[in-house]
Amino acid sequence: MKLSDLKTDFLEHLEIERGRSLKTITNYDHYLSRFLEFAQISKPEDITDELVRKYRIWLNRQLAGKTRRGMDEGLSATLKKKTQNYYLIALRAFLKYLVRREVRSLQPDRIDLAKTSERSLDLISSEELARLLAAPTGDSLQQLRDRAILELLFSTGLRVSELCSLSRYIDLKKDELSVRGKGEKIRVVFLSQEAKDAIKKYLDKRGDVDEALFIKHTNGGATDAKSLRLTPRSVERLAAHYAIKAGISKKVTPHVIRHSFATDLLENGADLRSVQVMLGHSNISTTQIYTHVTDKGLKEIHKNFHGKKR
């Protein structure tokens, strides 16, 4: 069977059997097409260690050139290695699929990912967070919406895409709601009283019947756009706007507020496994970027218990 046909079967497998999103399938299609264009082979048994080695060299040089051209835009070597890994992860997933199909090819565990530097967190202090949440001060629809968005982001730790997909028909008498996250997985997130109050005030003032929880507004009213639902990019601009208004010099995004949600829980005694579930991380290794927070108590432990017999 031709590699191009196997690739098509693999993408259909991701869509139908694995339930992956259209965006994920599109990305995998792009990464695998890039490999096949480079390899110029038609049979799966032609994928060898040597071919993958040459592909990695080519990939590194291609992306390194793009990174150098993009240095003025803030791209880094870390991003370069991380981007290379996306291509390798796609190829490895494809090879795992071939193993399941009992198609002879390179074993997926022969492909190691490029080493990347440890991920760093963009964080704001608790004082900065308080100023950010208090920044929308008016009673217009837009101000009420923006306050509700910021409160909800901090209360739940939602990804911005998850927030934008919410329906207005949520039960504010409850302290929780279900969201559909990455990989179409459902999880429960929890609402603070501040978030519930802000959402209620916003919804009470809305006069439209759009089913989206957060919609676009112009001069205090709904727009006449075909789709009223607020986009992730709009929420990102909103967060940046209120960060400036709150006098925060750091770059603030919805993801930074998600980091604040996680670190707030850990600093107040929550365990890493619980935070993993609330964030919707499939693997706890992703959540472990927050371990620096739980490590803060180590200094006090060392001070209290080390060298007492000297």
Q: CB-based burial of residue 308 (10 Å sphere; 0-12 exposed, 13-18 middle, 19+ buried)?
A: exposed
Residues with a known catalytic role: 159, 182, 255, 258, 281, 290
Contact 260, 154 (CB under 8 A): yes
Contact 293, 263 (CB under 8 A): yes
Q: What is the pTM of this model?
A: 0.69
47-to-32, 62, 91 alpha-carbon distances in Å:
13, 20, 10
Instruction: Please give the average per-residue pLDDT across 253-257, as a whole number.
Output: 94
Q: Whole-angstrom Cα distance, residue 233 to residue 215? A: 13
For residue 61 the two structure tokens come to 């040089």
Partner residues linked to 187 by β-bridges: 179
* Residue appearing with tokens 């499939």: 282
3-state helix, strand, coil in the chain (%, to 5): 60, 5, 35
pLDDT tens readout for residues 36-47:
999 999 999 999
pLDDT tens readout for residues 208-235:
999 999 999 876 555 555 678 999 999 9
pLDDT tens readout for residues 48-93:
999 999 999 988 887 655 544 443 444 444 457 888 899 999 999 9
For residue 21 the two structure tokens come to 């999103």
Contact 124, 248 (CB under 8 A): yes
Phi, psi angles (nearest 5°) of residue 18: -95, -15
Give, to the nearest 10 degrees, the angle between helix 77-100 and helix 3-16: 90
pLDDT tens readout for residues 1-31:
899 999 999 999 998 988 888 888 999 999 9
What structural domains and CATH numbers belong to the chain?
3-110 (1.10.150), 126-297 (1.10.443.10)
Q: CB-based burial of residue 92 (10 Å sphere; 0-12 exposed, 13-18 middle, 19+ buried)?
A: buried
